[in-house]
Amino acid sequence: MRLMPPYPAVAPALLALLWLSAVRASASAAAASAPNIVFILADDLGWNDVSWHNDQVVSPNMQQLVDTGVQLEQSYVQPLCTPSRSALLTGLYPFRLGRQGRPLGSKTPTGLSLDHTLLPERLTHLGYATHMIGKWHLGYCNWAYTPIERGFDTHYGYLLGSEYHFNHTIINGYDFREQREADFTANGTYGTHLFADRAVRIIEEHQGSDQPFFLYLALQNVHLPLEVPDEYLVHYPEDLDEDRRLLLGMVTALDEAVGRVVQALKDTGLYDNSVIVFSSDNGGVGMNGESNQPLRGNKGSMWEGGTRAVGFVHSPLLQGTPRVHSGLLHITDWHNTLLALAGESILPDNDGFNQWNSLVDPSVTSPRTTFIYNLDAESEEMSLGAIRLLNHKFVMGEKDLERGDKTGPWLFNLEDDPNEAVNLIEFEPELAVALELLLLEELPNVVPRDEPANDPAGDPSNWGGVWTPGWCDVP
């Protein structure tokens, strides 16, 4: 039969409609069995500041999740908050985004590049509800950079990198929001308590729903300033160093929040089809009671103490638990791993590997053999970077924090020397050169640091005392 007008004119619209409803149907069909994903990112939590590495630490809820889950022992992150969070949500090394340098400052007129699709946006397309709680730190000078414009249905928390835990103020401004609105009811309540309450509420609201959810719970603990309600200090001896005692109290408060989230999943019956991932964003600061012992170095460095993060995955869907996962895993891997878990069949091309099979199945090893710790070409003389290949780590150069000059290079065998004590550069010069070349291959792909000068327009005095978007243009 020949198609007669006006059919041809209507056909494209009709087809588009049919296609749309087919897509929606398949998205919700996938959604019905797709697991809920809770990604808990701790802030500045050190290697030695969890009970499974140090029995002085009181973190019974997380310990229980580790004891019945998969403990991640070679899970690597970036040395600092903004770069790690950028890598998590894009699946890309920060040097491809201009985010390899300093964390975003409170008046920096930029944010995480808008050219890339973030994980929550992709999960939304797969039929997920997407919620973010806690710290953003990926730019806020324009609303376009903020969580609800970047794929999250909801955001409850703060936009900058740190603040006082009770009054939610940093420098001269308040920073706490419910969606776009400043939320002054948070003033006076401990951040980690607020975030746990909200997480529990979101989970309860999903009870009985067919729609799976992604909850990105970016907790404030144990970032400075050292503040914690007294009730958490009773777990630690009074004669402990004061900073250490406060820090460990903050770990116990963090642990309680994690425990409440898991309990809510169980109470609502959502636990059986949920996956909980826990990671620190970088190592501990190492100067105010935090510790990455016995690893070398701290937050801000490419040493293991800055980049090898505590972490675990817990879910009734995992096989052969408890188990230690010693394969290489990098923070860029979560993007594709979680997408695969959510049912995405065509994974985006990025720096990550889909690790889901190696996490769920004890007989599968990590698909990753190499990764770049960081790569930064501050100037022609100052290329800094480090690369891992199997057990070896080559550090092209680190910036000496006191003197500002470049030190290195180093070569380590982390299997024999996990604490980076013995520089092998003179013993294995060919290997060092080969690794340096591998790293230098990426140098032409380094996007220059996106670190424009502070703009006083962002000062809270212009915005009623609240750190507020609206004072920069987007490219």
Ligand X SMILES: *[C@@H]1O[C@H](CO)[C@@H](O)[C@H](O)[C@H]1NC(C)=O
Query: With CB under 6 A as the contact rule, which of the stretches 58-66, 76-84, 182-190, 432-440 interacts with ligand X?
Result: 182-190
303-306: which pairs have CB atoms within 8 A and are 24 or more residues apart? Answer: 303/398, 303/420, 304/47, 304/414, 304/418, 304/419, 304/420, 305/46, 305/47, 306/79, 306/282
Closer CB to ligand X, residue 35 or residue 157?
A: 157
Q: Is 167 in the site for ligand X (CB under 6 A)?
A: yes
Q: To the nearest whole angstrom, how small is the minimum distance from the Cβ of residue 227 to ligand X? A: 7
Please tell me the distance from the alpha carbon of residue 74 to that of residue 20, in angstroms, as a whole number. Answer: 42
Q: Is 370 in the site for ligand X (CB under 6 A)?
A: no
Name residue, tokens 């937050």: 299
Q: To the nearest whole angstrom, how small is the minimum distance from the Cβ of residue 174 to ligand X? A: 4
Query: Is 141 noted as a catalytic residue in this protein?
Result: no
- Both tokens of 421, joined, read 């004590």
Of the candidates 53, 81, 131, 155, the residue annotated as catalytic is 81
Q: To the nearest whole angstrom, how small is the minimum distance from the Cβ of residue 172 to ligand X? A: 8
Query: Is 392 noted as a catalytic residue in this protein?
Result: no
Closer CB to ligand X, residue 128 or residue 174?
A: 174
Q: Is 463 in the site for ligand X (CB under 6 A)?
A: no
Please tell me the distance from the alpha carbon of residue 200 to that of residue 423, in angstroms, as a whole number. Answer: 48
Scanning residues 213 to 272, which ones bind ligand X (CB under 6 A)? none
Query: With CB under 6 A as the contact rule, which of the stretches 20-28, 127-135, 162-170, 238-246 interacts with ligand X?
Result: 162-170
Tell how strand 392-399 and strand 36-42 pair up: unpaired
Tell how strand 70-76 and strand 169-170 pair up: unpaired
- Cβ pair 99, 195 in contact under 8 A: no
Closer CB to ligand X, residue 7 or residue 184?
A: 184
Please tell me the distance from the alpha carbon of residue 445 to that of residue 223, in angstroms, as a whole number. Answer: 32
Of 54, 64, 117, 169, the residue at the interface with ligand X (CB under 6 A) is 169
Of 164, 365, 389, 428, the residue at the interface with ligand X (CB under 6 A) is 164
Q: Is 188 in the site for ligand X (CB under 6 A)?
A: yes
Half-sphere exposure of 204 (CA within 13 A, CB side): 9
Where helices occur in 73-231 by DSSP H, the ranges are 81-90, 119-125, 191-205
Of 7, 143, 184, 427, the residue at the interface with ligand X (CB under 6 A) is 184
Q: Is 293 in the site for ligand X (CB under 6 A)?
A: no
Instruction: Determine how many CB atoms are found less than 10 A away from the CB of residue 134.
Output: 26
The DSSP element (H or E) to which 341 belongs, if any, is helix 333-341
Of the candidates 53, 125, 131, 137, the residue annotated as catalytic is 137
> Is the peptide bond preceding residue 6 cis, with omega within 30 degrees of 0?
yes
Closer CB to ligand X, residue 187 or residue 209?
A: 187
In this structure, what DSSP letter does residue 60 have?
Answer: H
**Angle, in degrees to the nearest 10, between helices 242-267 and 191-205:** 10
Count interface residues toward ligand X (CB under 6 A): 7
String marking each residue 36-55 x if it binds ligand X according to CB under 6 A? --------------------
Query: With CB under 6 A as the contact rule, which of the stretches 55-63, 166-174, 398-406, 428-436 interacts with ligand X?
Result: 166-174
Q: How many helices (H) does the chain have, and how many strands (E)?
A: 10, 18
Q: To the nearest whole angstrom, how small is the minimum distance from the Cβ of residue 140 to ligand X? A: 17
Closer CB to ligand X, residue 164 or residue 471?
A: 164
The dihedral sign for the CA sequence 314, 315, 317, 319: positive
Query: With CB under 6 A as the contact rule, which of the stretches 180-188, 241-249, 274-282, 313-321 interacts with ligand X?
Result: 180-188
List interacting residues with ligand X (CB under 6 A): 164, 167, 169, 174, 184, 187-188
Residues marked as catalytic: 81, 137
